[in-house]
Structure 1
């Protein structure tokens, strides 16, 4: 199990660097002479016509609802592994990071609501999620020799954090529900789950089921990210030969998600044009609410909740308070997940979506800088 966790961390850290480059490239292109072409390509309609079923979406929406379904399928596999084989399977080690995740969701919402809730309450779920790839990449750069318990705490916290973000997506962004396609999808997942417990199914069956349920989710009005996670949850974690179907799929798809899907999404989602931008937009409203929700709400929520639960449960911290503060700051790097939720929350409102994206980028960068300062202070106090 430890080897799979270390492999996961290395892949996320490497993918995080590529993710940063893709985001920087998007900002450069969006603010260059190629900016209008960049915006036009994202709005270009593409049609999938299978005869009996047709879907038409823009390039940006295909990336958000189609390509990102691969990312959420991998997230679902990681959740299943953590729940059955990893840190989340042990109640003794899971208490503090789960509590920290809850605090790290509630406090950003409070901060956003105070700053921008009356301006635009649609954005309150935007600063709740942590970008695992960015956070782990930053940890690897800022504190390469840090205690493994800090890495595992951050990983577990971020996994639970993203799980809660997925629940929010399902609750807040599911509209006009069509019952029949949803029932068919649920039945297909149930049949797959039952059959996989009776006999080992070929590994390719599970992604195929995921593709079919993706299409049913589009028809049902359920967001595809939620259905992708549900499809991953039916993959068994019992051994087949030397490995499990869960491990086989995760090892095959995780590099695809980290090195292709997320960078493409970052390039499509992070391109904010600064042309005609009023500085007041950066200091108030949605942008400020999202930015400070991430940079302030996350570390305060994670830190205070962890310390409170540790005291009430009489559970010692696995590392220093300084490291807890540093981890809280890293959790403010919302980037991928926050951009994704922002696109859902402000869909159809380009001005508000741009403000949210600006807040996500600013809050994530500020969180990274605060984490760097916290780690530096922590190292000095140890000396």
Structure 2
């Protein structure tokens, strides 16, 4: 009986988001308990890895961020490729609406963040403008599952497609902004492996795990190159073929997506939340909540996201590029835009890259801002969608 209940839980759409939330809560509880010192020592425990002539040493926190998160982006990359090849992103007319929504949901939060930071006179924090740009798919799906009975299926598809495009935007930002001290030899090797993997399907080689092993080697060189290693995850996903040439399996892409799905949802993302979401309330007060960074993140996520999504969606309609389905109302679009303000793990990830050289105070303000902004966005989104229905 207990096993059946556990199985039923993991079949829920909201299960991944709930697991993620529990992990974040555990991280915060530990950070404010007598275990905080021991936990912090574990996070900064260095683990050396050497395979042949290749070696790399990093602490637990960085292995999760640079290593396991590459698997997350590999999984996201597979999802994006599948959508482009035969899903919602394959139809230009269907694609226009969420693409414009995603663009608005990235531009407006960034502008609001920058405006708040500049008004407060903290130009040194402007580089964190990418923080409110992100959307956490797991939490957004968990939130929309709460009101799923009240909304049309087309709205859920719109949210998922918008979030996928948003993730693609995050990948571009990581490549453009968070690369430094480039080792061109290592980068050349990484790109060379990418080209080889692209060529394999043309040579009749379509076994899924061949691409995984090649991607692992690509990741190792990408790590040494100075580019963020999570890019190797997306690049590997691009090379994986959709169709098979064997009766043993139908689709290498779908097989790998399914194989990694549970690991990403219930191990990698919760572990990232556990290692990166915790912060101490010690010394915090109203002044912390009202600090420029917290205010900028909260405003970017909870105000910038819904306004940006809604504004660009209607702009795309006005210029005739996209069409809003008749069964979707402005209230519902605004609600979906608000749910996209649940940045959580992706915002924490981008914030960690933006303020890697900052101290504990900025780190805690970053986490506080992301948590408050995400919670407010979730509450607003659910409230807006809860009273809507398919006939609205």
TM over 0.5: yes
Alpha-carbon distance in 1 for matches of 2:154, 2:30:
40
Aligned residues: 374
Alpha-carbon distance in 2 for matches of 1:220, 1:275:
39
RMSD over equivalenced CA pairs, Å: 1.8
Q: In the TM superposition, what is the alpha-carbon distance from 1:379 to its structure 2 partner?
A: 5.1
1:114-125 → structure 2 map (5 Å cutoff):
114-117=115-118, 118-119=121-122, 120-125=125-130
Alpha-carbon distance in 1 for matches of 2:192, 2:367:
37
Residue 200 (structure 1) aligned to one of 197, 205, 217: 205
Matched, 1:185 2:190: yes
Deviations 1:47-89 (A, max 9, x none): 1123512211111111111111110110111111111111111
Cα 1:142–1:132 shift into 2, 3 Å:
same
Does the 8 A contact of 1:197 with 1:236 survive in 2?
no
TM-score relative to the length of structure 2: 0.91
3-state SS, counterpart of residue 316 of structure 1: coil
Deviations 1:129-174 (A, max 9, x none): 1001110111001334521111110011000011111111111100
Alpha-carbon distance in 2 for matches of 1:235, 1:51:
27
Aligned position for 2:6: none
Aligned position for 2:21: 20
Alpha-carbon distance in 1 for matches of 2:53, 2:390:
65
Residue 294 (structure 1) aligned to one of 297, 301, 308: 301
Mark the runs of 5 or more structure 2 residues left unpaired by the alignment.
Answer: 1-9
Matched, 1:110 2:111: yes
Alpha-carbon distance in 2 for matches of 1:316, 1:218:
43
Alpha-carbon distance in 1 for matches of 2:309, 2:251:
34
Matched, 1:174 2:183: no
Alpha-carbon distance in 1 for matches of 2:148, 2:208:
38
Cα 1:297–1:315 shift into 2, 3 Å:
same
Alpha-carbon distance in 2 for matches of 1:279, 1:290:
16
Aligned position for 1:362: 372
Matched, 1:260 2:267: yes
Alpha-carbon distance in 2 for matches of 1:279, 1:359:
13
Mark the runs of 5 or more structure 1 residues left unpaired by the alignment.
Answer: 1-8
Q: In the TM superposition, what is the alpha-carbon distance from 1:356 to its structure 2 partner?
A: 1.0
Alpha-carbon distance in 2 for matches of 1:131, 1:167:
16
Aligned position for 1:150: 155
Cα 1:46–1:226 shift into 2, 3 Å:
same
Aligned position for 2:312: 305
Alpha-carbon distance in 2 for matches of 1:342, 1:268:
14
Matched, 1:374 2:384: yes
Q: In the TM superposition, what is the alpha-carbon distance from 1:269 to its structure 2 partner?
A: 1.0
Matched, 1:163 2:155: no
1:1-383 → structure 2 map (5 Å cutoff):
13-117=14-118, 118-119=121-122, 120-240=125-245, 241=247, 243-313=250-320, 315-318=322-325, 319-349=328-358, 350-378=360-388, 382=392
Which one is further off, 11-20 or 213-222?
Answer: 11-20
Alpha-carbon distance in 1 for matches of 2:52, 2:218:
18
Aligned position for 2:7: none
Cα 1:345–1:11 shift into 2, 3 Å:
farther
Alpha-carbon distance in 1 for matches of 2:65, 2:250:
32
Q: In the TM superposition, what is the alpha-carbon distance from 1:315 to its structure 2 partner?
A: 4.1
Does the 8 A contact of 1:107 with 1:300 survive in 2?
yes
Q: In the TM superposition, what is the alpha-carbon distance from 1:110 to its structure 2 partner?
A: 0.8
Does the 8 A contact of 1:12 with 1:132 survive in 2?
no
TM-score relative to the length of structure 1: 0.94
Deviations 1:254-287 (A, max 9, x none): 1110111000001111101110114212113111
3-state SS, counterpart of residue 74 of structure 1: helix
Deviations 1:192-213 (A, max 9, x none): 2112123033221011011101
Alpha-carbon distance in 2 for matches of 1:143, 1:75:
23
Alpha-carbon distance in 1 for matches of 2:382, 2:263:
29
